[in-house]
Structure 1
């Protein structure tokens, strides 16, 4: 896999701080209801000064059945969920990352699970299609995303005034080679719907590892609670600094994780322990 943006040094002219927010949800099978919830969280985070906001995986639809999202899939560039994201980014003048939503693919029974990024003018700035598809079986609990999702193929990162941002979704978190493919980034954004079983065991450990090994901030935004379809998601949305410290977190239920990202902190960590410069592979 080749990254879309090559490994470039940090821009010394970049803005020194960025206030970022993760908007944790417990999404339902009803798109309109989920968009109303997202609106309230976006408005609240903006009121607290957020400049970059991220929603969780499946923020717009957590169906009663896995194939419910296939019925609601949108053509790339058109649809009520995409229109919502563009309008909210433009309304507030913020960077808005729509955790994931179902996009059309040629396979009639599948979707692309896609994270879309909108700039402060409401223009689409990036799209990432989830590469690694979750499979899990333990007792009566089982998941197989391959049944309804077509895998993406390309790592995606994009630039904002603060620096470079790498995109991934949920199960991608377990594959560190994806994050290395971005090169040097200032922020990784990881929307997710981790199950309670796997999240309780591995979520925080993996997130802090990605922050430490890439010496960057990690904004992890999760579904967090009991859904109408019976699924329980782990929650624990958090913002982690380049040393692995958790700056803010939300355990369960809808809510906001918010904190300031500082380029001085990135420089401090990367100068004192120049691991990124020591890489040989």
Structure 2
């Protein structure tokens, strides 16, 4: 099975309606260029640090502007459209403490909803130069990993910070995933250090394609994201990579025979063994206890 995939890089602002329009324009162009599967970045709908302003725009999944536009585009353009994520209200968004999901949504050709996925791992970190994030203060983490069995291949879901947890991707690969997805809004600081190596590692260790649409540039809310959207093959080769800022459409042919070839050469999914772990403490006098 071979198909053309697209990863759309964006620089989403604070206005959900405008971001949805930008998404539509870029998705239409990717489809015009022959993409059968199109992925947008994490937080396609808006990057907004002002929590009050963010909540004012929140809707539930049935009424979300980005989700509605994606459904319509998948139906009209006859494509698989994967919104990398957008903020979705679980409770009344106007209530202080109301729950929010960082949710990915995948539509099939015809506009049918295939699956959603709520980001599992929250980006709660303290970086150099005073950069600090507490995603768990706004978002409710997901609790279920998902693989979608599609006619074009089996696709595993992840979002941004999830990429640092290889057990998630290994579980998906063992469940048959041939394509791993990592839509993201990586910070520039962490992206420069780790983005490419993490994506290539997830591809290599699982013998799978990795498609990662990213946010890139300086956003209206003041943050800066790393960009460099990327598509990686199962041998770890970078098939396409975007620049560090601004809109861009990446295209690559996804040939699933490359997955089977990589896993046949290095069958680490089959060769993995169960083991126990023992911590050995060095005692005084050099005798282990």
| TM-score for the superposition, normalised by structure 2 | 0.88
Q: CA deviation at 1:64?
A: 4.4
Q: Deviations over 1:12-69 (max 9, x none)?
A: xxxx102110000000101121112111111111111100000001111111424533
**Deviation (angstroms), 1:127:** 0.6
Structure 1 residue 123 and structure 2 residue 104: aligned? no
How far did 1:181 drift?
Answer: 1.9
Identify the residue that residue 259 of structure 1 maps to in structure 2. Answer: 252
1:274 aligns with 2:267: yes
Corresponding position of 1:173 = 163
User: What does residue 150 of structure 2 align with?
Assistant: 160
SS at match of 1:101: strand
Contact 2:232 2:239 in 1 (8 A): yes
8 Å Cα contact 1:130-1:152 kept in structure 2: yes
Say yes or no: does 1:21 pair with 2:6. Answer: yes
CA distance in 1 between partners of 2:52 and 2:168 (Å): 27
Matches for 1:156-235 after TM superposition, within 5 Å:
156-182=146-172, 183=174, 184-235=176-227
Deviations 1:220-274 (A, max 9, x none): 1100001111100000101000000000010121011110011221222122222
Check whether the contact 1:155–1:178 (CA below 8 A) recurs between aligned residues: yes
Deviation at 1:192, TM superposition (A): 0.5
Structure 1 stretches of 5 or more lacking a match?
1-15
Question: Alpha-carbon deviation of 1:71?
Answer: 2.6
Is this contact kept in 2: 1:19–1:258, CA < 8 A? yes
Do 1:57 and 1:101's aligned partners in 2 also have CA atoms closer than 8 Å? yes
- Within 2, Cα distance between the matches of 1:201 and 1:263? 30
8 Å Cα contact 1:125-1:158 kept in structure 2: yes
1:134 maps to 2:123:
yes
> Residues 177 and 208 of structure 2 are in contact (CA less than 8 Å); yes or no, is this contact kept in structure 1?
yes
Specify every segment of 5 or more residues in structure 2 that has no aligned partner in the other structure, as ranges.
275-289
- For normalisation by structure 1, the TM-score amounts to 0.91
State the partner residue of 2:287: none
38-47 or 99-108: which moved more? 99-108
CA distances 1:139-180 after superposition (whole Å, capped 9, x unpaired): 331111011101111101101112210000000000001112
- In structure 2, how many angstroms separate the alpha carbons of the residues matched to 1:58 and 1:152? 16
| CA distance in 2: counterparts of 1:267 and 1:103, whole angstroms | 36
Residue pairs, 1:52-63, within 5 angstroms? 52-63=37-48
Cα 1:100–1:88, aligned 2, differ >3 Å: closer, same or farther? Answer: same
Check 1:22–1:67 CA distance in 2 against 1; reply closer, same or farther (3 A cut).
farther
Count residues in correspondence. 266
Contact 2:17 2:65 in 1 (8 A): no
